[in-house]
């Protein structure tokens, strides 16, 4: 193939959620970027339920927004329903979730990538990686050119070696009838990278006009405006609803009666399926004691009449799917517009990656998204953003960006992938994060926007608006600490209304707010600010006052652990030369090649005693190199 006459800084392969974010981030940072996609018509395609956010996933999206990512804006712009979830629980697990119009979401991304300065977008099928002397030089395509770049980001999702299964039918296909990507899968294997086979399923779609809505429980959007973007004004959306129904013993009997026709029992599928988003078959098999599972019927677009059947993914034959659907209350006459199916695909063993998403064996090659063994649009976009940033940094010869576990869910996600790997599709959960109270939705901007600004990913207007927001929160916190509230009949009656004891003497407004049952709105009513906090700023004020003690404790813990994160491990360290390490630890350390002592401590199977031995060894090593330097020796 001829070599294309323009050499790029960054090439991104794949125009899904990860690829679009990577391409936008790299080009916005000033890197000349090329985005190659199998089909421009599948840009940011949503082959599963078009919902964005929820606990942990919403945290990833909000953090992406703080770093200048696009997914939150796409979700806000296309939302049909939007809600803040977990409002009755602690602030750490509250998160927005939007049910998006999948066509509008795709259009948002397609327009963004096609109008982004410094970004060329072309339909091409990448067949091969161009690697020379352990370094990525570019990519080769099936019917076009060879393209050269300083860094390459692969974001090929579920397409590598993809096979679709519905009952006894098994065919070579990408999601929703897209072309699979078989040549590239072979090329990556021949580069010596370790792969796994994984699997995920999706649900049938139904025609909304064939549902008996009166038999279903409706769920509306929130009354208060909610947005995923840090800068969104929030919208209240009343035109669409989602509906709830439940599976029942009859549904489960139908599933059981058809299991012998499932692709798993027929031995077609080998890939590992998702533990946290299992098919209805897996639920019936693994939880035989459960008589019922909740099922949600959610709209997918303003431009069609289809609904997605959430929590009901299946790869049983179509006739069995129809019987199962008809057994659900409200779905007795439902018409299936698209059958559910399972898709199996190749993905990278993510321990091949560094904590900045570069393949350790191939300099300049970055991987992001479902290719790395994750599942979900949010996980994909978050990785794409980080990979795009790091590809741009690599192209200009700068140090890579590593996000710490203590500063972001994105850091937790990437550290888990690089350090522990995942034998099954990895989904972000709040329980994976040890610093939940300091990694909240409402403080994502404080944590990451300064970094987004330094990287050149936040424009002046966004930076000014977020600074104004921080100023409002800080001045209100300062005011609450000095304003005094005196007892009065009105105040005591309001306190009684929230189950709080009456005030008998004057106290600081912050002390009143510190009472767990007293909301900020009550305090502000009796001690009004001149420039009141708005929207989620109120949450930040409340959390700062009510949870300060717990936050301090978590911050001290982070400081202690930060010392281990700062101890760097030389890239070529010979673990076989360290005496007394257990063989298992030595093998795992040599396989993962952690970058810091902190990362070494998180490798499963490496004992705390071995981390201590390693730490003493690194100390001695750094003393020796200090002495050598002082004596002018290399």
The answer to whether residue 339 forms part of the interface with ligand FAD (CB under 6 A) is no
Contacts (CB under 6 A) with ligand FAD, residues 296-325: none
Between residues 91 and 376, which has the closer beta carbon with respect to ligand FAD?
376
Between residues 202 and 227, which has the closer beta carbon with respect to ligand FAD?
202
Between residues 274 and 330, which has the closer beta carbon with respect to ligand FAD?
274
Question: What is the maximum alpha-carbon separation in the chain?
Answer: 85
CB within 8 A of 107, min separation 6: which ones?
A: 78
Radius of gyration of the chain (CA): 26
What kind and span of H or E run contains 599? Answer: helix 597-601
CB within 8 A of 120, min separation 6: which ones?
A: 8, 33, 34, 35
Cross-strand partners of 207: 306
Q: Are 334 and 207 in contact, with CB atoms under 8 Å apart? A: yes
Cross-strand partners of 316: none
Residue found under tokens 């930040």:
540
The answer to whether residue 54 forms part of the interface with ligand FAD (CB under 6 A) is no
Q: What is the 3-state secondary structure (H, E, C) of 194-223?
A: CEEEEEEEECCEEEHHHCCHHHCEEECCCC
Smallest separation, CB 202 to ligand FAD (Å): 4
Please state, in angstroms and rounded to a whole number, the distance separating the CA atoms of residues 387 and 13.
Answer: 12
| Tokens linked to 398 | 């700068």
Q: Are 529 and 479 in contact, with CB atoms under 8 Å apart? A: yes
Contacts (CB under 6 A) with ligand FAD, residues 262-301: 277
Between residues 126 and 539, which has the closer beta carbon with respect to ligand FAD?
126
| Tokens linked to 191 | 């580069």
Contacts (CB under 6 A) with ligand FAD, residues 134-193: 155-159, 175, 181, 184
Q: Are 234 and 535 in contact, with CB atoms under 8 Å apart? A: yes
Cross-strand partners of 79: 100
Q: For ligand FAD, which stretch binds (CB under 6 A), given 7-15, 104-112, 254-262, 579-587?
A: 7-15
Smallest separation, CB 174 to ligand FAD (Å): 7
Tell me, by CB under 6 A, how many residues bind ligand FAD: 36
Smallest separation, CB 388 to ligand FAD (Å): 12
Between residues 143 and 497, which has the closer beta carbon with respect to ligand FAD?
143
Smallest separation, CB 609 to ligand FAD (Å): 39
Contacts (CB under 6 A) with ligand FAD, residues 537-596: none
Mask 376-415, x = binds ligand FAD (CB under 6 A)? xx--x-----------------------------------
Between residues 275 and 446, which has the closer beta carbon with respect to ligand FAD?
275
Enter the DSSP assignment of 352.
G
The answer to whether residue 125 forms part of the interface with ligand FAD (CB under 6 A) is yes
Between residues 38 and 466, which has the closer beta carbon with respect to ligand FAD?
38
Determine which residue in the list 27, 32, 33, 42 makes contact with ligand FAD, applying CB under 6 A. Answer: 42
Please state, in angstroms and rounded to a whole number, the distance separating the CA atoms of residues 314 and 200.
Answer: 10
Q: For ligand FAD, which stretch binds (CB under 6 A), given 41-49, 388-396, 401-409, 617-625?
A: 41-49
CB within 8 A of 542, min separation 6: which ones?
A: 91, 513, 519, 520
The answer to whether residue 255 forms part of the interface with ligand FAD (CB under 6 A) is no
Contacts (CB under 6 A) with ligand FAD, residues 431-470: none
User: Which residues lie near ligand FAD (CB under 6 A)?
Assistant: 13-19, 36-39, 42, 45, 47-48, 125-126, 155-159, 175, 181, 184, 200, 202, 277, 343, 369-371, 375-377, 380
């Amino acid at each position: 193939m001829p070599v294309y006459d323009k050499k790029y800084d960054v090439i991104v392969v794949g125009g899904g959620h990860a690829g679009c974010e990577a391409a936008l981030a790299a080009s916005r940072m000033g890197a000349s970027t090329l985005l190659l996609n199998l089909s421009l018509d599948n840009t940011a395609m949503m082959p599963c339920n078009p919902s964005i956010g929820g606990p942990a996933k919403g945290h990833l999206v909000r953090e992406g927004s703080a770093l200048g990512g696009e997914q939150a804006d796409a979700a806000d712009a296309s939302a049909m329903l939007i809600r803040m979830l977990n409002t009755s629980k602690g602030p750490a697990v509250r998160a927005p979730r939007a049910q998006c119009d999948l066509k509008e979401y795709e259009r948002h991304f397609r327009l963004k990538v096609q109008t982004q300065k410094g970004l060329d977008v072309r339909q091409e099928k990448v067949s091969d990686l161009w690697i020379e002397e352990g370094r990525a030089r570019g990519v080769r395509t099936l019917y076009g050119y060879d393209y050269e770049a300083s860094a390459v980001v692969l974001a090929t999702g579920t397409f590598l070696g993809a096979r679709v299964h519905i009952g006894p039918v098994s065919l070579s296909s990408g999601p929703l009838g897209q072309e699979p990507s078989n040549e590239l899968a072979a090329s990556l294997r021949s580069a010596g990278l370790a792969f796994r086979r994984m699997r995920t399923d999706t649900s049938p779609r139904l025609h909304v006009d064939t549902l008996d809505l009166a038999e279903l429980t409706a769920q509306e959007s929130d009354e208060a405006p909610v947005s995923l973007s840090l800068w969104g004004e929030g919208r209240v959306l009343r035109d669409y609803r989602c509906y709830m129904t439940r599976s029942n013993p009859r549904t489960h009997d139908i599933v059981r009666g058809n299991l012998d026709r499932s692709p798993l029992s027929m031995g077609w599928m080998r890939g590992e399926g998702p533990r946290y988003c299992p098919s209805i078959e897996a639920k019936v098999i693994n939880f035989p004691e459960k008589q019922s599972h909740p099922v949600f019927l959610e709209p997918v677009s303003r431009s069609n009449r289809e609904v997605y059947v959430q929590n009901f993914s299946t790869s049983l034959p179509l006739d069995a799917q129809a019987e199962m659907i008809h057994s659900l209350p409200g779905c007795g006459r439902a018409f299936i517009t698209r059958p559910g199916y399972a898709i199996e695909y190749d993905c990278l063993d993510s321990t091949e990656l560094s904590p900045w998403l570069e393949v350790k064996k191939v300099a300049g090659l970055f991987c992001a998204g479902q290719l790395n063994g994750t599942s979900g649009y949010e996980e994909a976009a978050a990785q794409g953003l980080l990979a795009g940033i790091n590809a741009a940094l690599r192209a200009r010869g700068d140090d890579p960006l590593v996000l710490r576990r203590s500063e972001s869910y994105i850091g937790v996600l990437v550290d888990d992938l690089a350090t522990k790997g995942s034998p099954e599709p990895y989904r972000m959960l709040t329980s994976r994060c040890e610093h939940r109270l300091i990694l909240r939705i409402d403080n994502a901007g404080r944590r990451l926007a300064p970094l987004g600004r330094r990287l050149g990913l936040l424009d002046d207007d966004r930076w000014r608006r977020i600074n104004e927001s921080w100023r409002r929160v800080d001045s209100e916190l300062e005011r609450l600490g000095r304003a005094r509230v005196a007892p009065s009949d009105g105040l005591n009656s309001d306190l009684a209304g929230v189950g709080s004891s009456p005030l008998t003497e004057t106290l600081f407004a912050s002390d009143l707010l510190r009472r767990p049952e007293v909301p900020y709105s009550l305090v502000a009513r009796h001690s009004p600010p001149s420039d009141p906090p708005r929207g989620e700023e109120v949450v930040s004020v409340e959390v700062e006052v009510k949870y300060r003690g717990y936050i301090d404790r978590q911050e001290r813990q982070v400081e202690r652990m930060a010392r281990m994160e700062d101890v760097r491990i030389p890239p070529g360290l010979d673990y076989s030369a360290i005496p007394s390490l257990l063989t298992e630890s030595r093998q795992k350390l040599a396989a993962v090649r952690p970058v810091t002592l902190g990362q070494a401590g998180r490798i499963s199977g490496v004992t705390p005693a071995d981390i201590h031995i390693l730490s003493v060894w690194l100390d001695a090593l750094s003393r020796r190199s200090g002495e050598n330097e002082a004596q002018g020796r290399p």
